Amino acid sequence: MSQGTKQPDDANYGGDYSYAIKSALFGVAVGDALGVPVKFKSREYLNMHPVTGMTGFGSHSQPPGTWSDDSSLTFCLAEALIRGYDLDAIGQNFVKWYSNAYWTAGGEIFDIGKGTDEAIVRLSGGTKPELSGDTSVSSNGNDSLMRILPLVFRLMPKPLTERFEITRQVSSVTNGHIRSIISCFYYLEFARQILEGREKYDIYRDIRKVVSGHLSALLIDPAEVLVFDRLLKYDIFRLNESEISTGSNVINTLEAAVWCLLTTESYSEAVLRAVNLGGDTDTTAAVTGGLAGLLYGFDGIPEEWIRQIRRKEDIEELAEKLAAGLNGN
């Protein structure tokens, strides 16, 4: 087993996932909180003033340890999955967040993506969650990727075809275009193999076959698969930093997260590299942090950063409830 979730039982579904879930949820939240104060800062600025630890205020005037919509929607999804997979429950939790600041760090929503905003307005108006996300090519922001990670724990025992279909449904609550769906599928398959205890470079090589093969079997438009070439055909970890983009496009975010994971050797290195790439810093670091949290485990996240995370006890309780729900269902 790789240096990962640090519980041998976590490599097998049916074991105790409590540690892995805690690692994933805090992995997302800590990365998110590191990036919030410098959101939209340029790479050039961060090269001169690099983030080296948990700070506050800055771009959104929030205190240290504050996480954004990325983590809020991750927690909303995790909570909805406690009793099983129910797309309506997921959609309802997203509406509660939007309307009542549910699962926010400090009782307010201070950041929301355009795609998420529009999708939840449609949800609130009665649109079914599977149909609420925009399906146009222009809708491929990173809204669904940033909050998809908890789904991996419900997908573990399911066959590949079902994993893809459920991922499609959950992505489509906010982002229904095939690029967003493929990005979420790739990310969750990577997370799945971390949970199985595999080494990160072995995962990267195997994911190419898994994802490419399944997309081919589904007869997905080859032009849509082509945009994933840097992940599916090449060694993205060999690229220079200057070749990695960090806007809000879902493919850019996925590429940056995988690049940060593969070119570093610890949780802290991975998320700080993600933040210091600039741009959509909170989301890049949240997506990176989710995988890095699983890979290096909760104990691999600096204790000082964990202590500063807002609503720490609530996140711990959520992880315990999801783990208990998995064991009971």
pLDDT for 9 equals 39
CA distance 293 to 285: 11
pLDDT (0 to 100) of residue 327: 85
What does the pLDDT look like over 112-130, one tens digit per residue?
Answer: 888 999 999 999 999 999 9
pLDDT of residue 59: 83
Residue 6 pLDDT: 42
Q: What does the pLDDT read at residue 15?
A: 52
Separation between Cα atoms, residue 195 and residue 17, nearest integer Å: 9
Q: How many CA atoms lie within 13 A of 196 on its CB side?
A: 16
pLDDT at 168: 98
Residue 3 pLDDT:
43
> pLDDT band at 328, cuts 50/70/90?
confident
Q: What is the pLDDT of residues 206-255, one digit of tens each?
A: 999 999 999 999 999 999 999 999 999 999 999 999 999 998 999 999 99
Please give the share of the chain, as a percent, with pLDDT higher than 70. 95
Using the Cα atoms of residue 215, residue 173, residue 38 and residue 304 in order, give the sign of their dihedral. negative
Superfamily of domain 8-328: ADP-ribosylation/Crystallin J1 (1.10.4080.10)
Task: Kindly tell me the burial class for residue 23, based on how many C-beta atoms sit within 10 Å of its own C-beta (0-12, 13-18, 19 or more).
Answer: buried
Joined tokens for residue 277: 């790439």
What are the structure tokens assigned to 16, written together?
């105790």
Amino acid present at 186: Y
Using CA atoms, how far residue 130 sits from 88, 121, 127, 139, 191, in Å, is: 9, 14, 8, 15, 23
* Average pLDDT score over residue span 121-144: 96
CA-based nearest residue to 203, from 19, 2, 8: 2
The answer on pLDDT for 2 being more than 80 is no
What is the Rg, in whole angstroms, of the alpha carbon atoms belonging to the chain?
Answer: 18
Decide if pLDDT at 75 tops 50: yes
SS3 27: helix
Is residue 193 within 8 Å of 207, Cβ to Cβ?
Answer: yes
Token code pair at residue 27: 């992995």
- Residue 7, pLDDT > 50, answer no
Contacts 24+ apart (CB under 8 A), 240-243: 241/277
Q: Where exactly are the structural domains of the chain?
A: 8-328
pLDDT digits (tens, 9 = 90+) for 279-316: 999 999 999 999 999 999 999 999 999 999 999 999 99
- Predicted local distance difference test score (pLDDT) of residue 329: 67
Beta-carbon contacts of 303 under 8 Å, excluding residues fewer than 6 positions away, are none
pLDDT value of residue 101: 96
